[in-house]
Amino acid sequence: METYTLNNGKKIPKFGLGTFRVEAGESAYDTVKLALKIGYRHIDTAIMYGNESDIGRAIRDSGIPREEIFVTSKLAKHYDGDIVLIKEALDKSLKTLNIGYIDLMLIHWPDHDHHINDLIWKIFESYYQEGLFKSIGVSNFQIHHLENLLKKAIVRPVMNQVECHPLLSQVPLQKYLTDNDILMTSYGPLARGEVFTGKTHEVLEEIAKQYGATVAQVIVQWGLARGIVMIPKSVHEERLIENFKGQELVLAPEDIEKINQLNRGRRLYSDPDNNINFL
Ligand SMILES: NC(=O)c1ccc[n+]([C@@H]2O[C@H](COP(=O)([O-])OP(=O)(O)OC[C@H]3O[C@@H](n4cnc5c(N)ncnc54)[C@H](OP(=O)(O)O)[C@@H]3O)[C@@H](O)[C@H]2O)c1
């Protein structure tokens, strides 16, 4: 699989599988097993998704060497900055996944008190130094959250995973991240289905038709062409394959620009500045 190089020299597959709302139990196990068989080598999960155990089991049962698979997880709860509880949650994530180490651990959501973000980051840094997390990063951080974090961080975050799709292209945030040697992952690439409606769909479908591709594939490639990690979620074999094949598409620069023009700054998920958490 094609990879990007993170700012600590580690590689991350450019494309992966999202697993938010992939039900714990056989659904998560079967989906990940199937995705690995198709060729996926990057699985995105989180403590709050409740499916780490099944994902870990699918990875162990896959027969694929551990080092060939990249796993991201995320810490959502901040426990009011209680160090013992935060460490307990991180240890539990490692134990539940049971795959030795986590390739990338993210702070799932910025705390509105930046001292708590600093404190969690310090703990993340200690797990990173111990080799339990191979890389550490953040999610849903706005520029101001990162500016605060970078003042105290010893280890620079490698990643910011944020909502990003044709209706919210995140160009200014991506520029800031690039300037600071931090990669961006897009979540919600299909904008909760809004890319399949109205004017947005008309434009995307017209582009897709030119390439004999689907709208989902065009979006996957739009992100990859911008240097973004793409992690669409599906539990259906035909869609897992369809999304995976989006990696092969080559879009003309003018088509990428047409998609950029669809940006309306429209959030379909929570706004990190106005929600204390994303639930
Ligand atoms: N860091 C964060 O705060 C955060 C927040 C949200 C998500 N995420 C991560 O990002 C991943 C992706 O985001 P997401 O799951 O919210 O949204 P998404 O990937 O944009 O969309 C998933 C939805 O689209 C459907 N779908 C998938 N492929 C399709 C295709 N080719 N054609 C038509 N429909 C298709 C899926 O249905 P089926 O499953 O039925 O196919 C599912 O309902 C998550 O799974 C999670 O890992 C992170």
The reply to whether 269 falls in a domain is no
Question: 216-274: per-residue pLDDT in tens?
Answer: 999 999 999 999 999 999 999 999 999 999 999 999 999 999 999 999 999 999 999 99
The reply to whether 175 falls in a domain is yes
Evaluate whether 110 touches 272 at the Cβ level (below 8 Å). yes
Q: What is the pLDDT of residue 203?
A: 97
Give the pLDDT mean for 204-225: 98
The reply to whether 277 falls in a domain is no
- In short, whether 73's Cβ falls inside 6 Å of ligand 1 is no
Identify the band that residue 275 occupies on the pLDDT scale cut at 50, 70 and 90: confident
The reply to whether 198 falls in a domain is yes
3-state secondary structure of 165: strand
- In short, whether 161's Cβ falls inside 6 Å of ligand 1 is yes
Mean of the per-residue pLDDT values for the chain?
97
Range of the domain at 130: 3-260
Give the pLDDT mean for 27-37: 98
Give the pLDDT mean for 172-188: 98
Q: What is the pLDDT of residue 227?
A: 98
Q: What is the pLDDT of residue 279?
A: 55
Give the pLDDT mean for 7-12: 98
Give the pLDDT mean for 174-183: 98
Identify the band that residue 198 occupies on the pLDDT scale cut at 50, 70 and 90: very high
Q: Give the residue numbers of the binding site for substrate.
A: 108
The reply to whether 271 falls in a domain is no
Query: How far away, in angstroms, is 135 Cα from ligand 1 center?
Result: 24
Planar angle of CA 213, 216, 222, nearest 5 degrees: 85
Evaluate whether 105 touches 136 at the Cβ level (below 8 Å). yes
Separation CA 83–CA 120 (nearest Å):
8
The reply to whether 95 falls in a domain is yes
Identify the band that residue 276 occupies on the pLDDT scale cut at 50, 70 and 90: confident
CATH number, domain with residue 123:
3.20.20.100
Give me the sheet containing 159-163, strands edge to edge.
17-18, 42-44, 70-75, 102-107, 133-139, 159-163, 183-187, 229-230
The reply to whether 255 falls in a domain is yes
CA-nearest residue for atom 36, ligand 1, is 234
Q: Give the residue numbers of the binding site.
A: 108
Question: 124-152: per-residue pLDDT in tens?
Answer: 999 999 999 999 999 999 999 999 999 99
The reply to whether 272 falls in a domain is no
Q: State how many domains the chain has.
A: 1
Give the pLDDT mean for 71-96: 97
* Residue 278 in this model has a pLDDT that exceeds 90: no
* Residue 63 in this model has a pLDDT that exceeds 60: yes
Nearest residue to 25 via CA among 1, 49, 60: 49
